[in-house]
Amino acid sequence: MSFDADAKMQFLFALRSHGVTDQSVLQAMEKIDRGAFVKGYFNERAYEDMPLPIPCGQTISQPSVVGLMTQALRLTGREKVLEVGTGSGYQAAVLSQLARRVYTVDRHRRLVADARKVFEALDLSNITAFTADGSFGLPDQAPFERILVTAAAEDPPGPLLAQLRIGGIMVLPVGQSDTVQHLIRVTRTEQGYEYDELRPVRFVPLVEGLAKDS
Ligand code: SAH
C-alpha cells in the first residue's frame, strides 16, 4: 500500500478524531510514511490507527498515541530530545520533524540497525540511534529538553528525571502491570518535578539490560 492522498486523508482523520489537534504534529505525521517502518505482512495495515507487530516481539505504537505523546511534549523545534524505545523508528522520525536533534535508544541491536537504515533512506539526518539500556538515559548527551519513553516502567526512572533539563518535559507510560498504565507528563521546574496524568495507555514493558540478541 502507498501513502497516497486517500490513505493520508483517512490517517489524518483518525488522528484528529482521537484528539491530535496540533497542526505541526499533524503535518509531521502526514510527511513521515508509517509504511516505511512496518515490514512484511503487516505493511498492508500501516495506515490504520492500530499498533502492529515489529521484529523482536515488539510493537509499533498506534498512530493516534504517537500523535498524542508528541503533542504532549510541546516541541518548538529547538530541542534536543531523547527517545527511549526506538522500536521501528517511526516515533523518532516524527520527532525529527519537530525538534533540533533526536537521540533514540533500544535494547535490541537488530531494531536499532533496521531503524538506522530507514532513517538513512528517508534522509533524516538529525536522528542518532544507539543500542543501550534506556533506563539509564544517555549521560554523555544529557541534559535533554525533552524525553519520551515508549515502554512502560513502574515509576519514572531516576536517571531520566536527572537528565531532564530544568524547564524540560518528559512523557512516559507508567503502570504496575501491562493492563493498567497511564501516560504521565513530568515537567522539571527550579523547585522539582510536576506530574500530570494524561490518559490510560498500553505499552510493552521497559526491560532492564540489553536484549540477548544484542
Ligand atoms: N517507539 C517505537 C515503539 C516502541 S515499542 C516505534 O515508534 O516503533 C517499545 C520499545 O522499547 C521496544 O522496541 C523495546 O525493545 C524497547 N525497550 C524496552 N525496554 C528498554 C530499555 N530498558 N532500554 C531501551 N529500549 C527498551
Atom of ligand 1 nearest to the CA of 134: 23
Q: What is the pLDDT along the chain (214 residues), one digit of tens a residue?
A: 799 999 999 999 999 999 999 999 999 999 999 999 999 999 999 999 999 999 999 999 999 999 999 999 999 999 999 999 999 999 999 999 999 999 999 999 999 999 999 999 999 999 999 999 999 999 999 999 999 999 999 999 999 999 999 999 999 999 977 678 999 999 999 999 999 999 999 999 999 999 987 5
Cβ of 133 closer than 6 Å to ligand 1, yes or no, is yes
From the candidates 2, 17, 61, 64, which is the catalytic residue?
61
214 in a structural domain: no
165 in a structural domain: yes
Would you call 154 helix, strand, or coil by DSSP? coil
pLDDT at residue 178, as a whole number: 67
**Ligand 1 centroid distance, CA of 31 (Å):** 23
**Ligand 1 centroid distance, CA of 154 (Å):** 15
pLDDT at residue 212, as a whole number: 84
Domain count for the chain: 1
Q: Could you tell me the residue range of the domain that residue 120 belongs to?
A: 5-201
Q: Which residue, 125, 89, 123, is CA-closest to 105?
A: 89
pTM (predicted TM-score): 0.97
115 in a structural domain: yes
pLDDT at residue 214, as a whole number: 58
Rounded Cα distance, 122 and 132, in Å:
23
207 in a structural domain: no
pLDDT at residue 6, as a whole number: 94
Q: Which residue, 64, 28, 60, is CA-closest to 42?
A: 60
pLDDT at residue 69, as a whole number: 98
20 in a structural domain: yes
189 in a structural domain: yes
Q: Is 98 exposed, middle or buried (0-12, 13-18, 19+ CB in 10 A)?
A: buried
- 61 belongs to the catalytic site: yes
Q: What nine digits make up the cell of 188?
A: 522539571
Rounded Cα distance, 51 and 171, in Å:
19
pLDDT at residue 119, as a whole number: 98
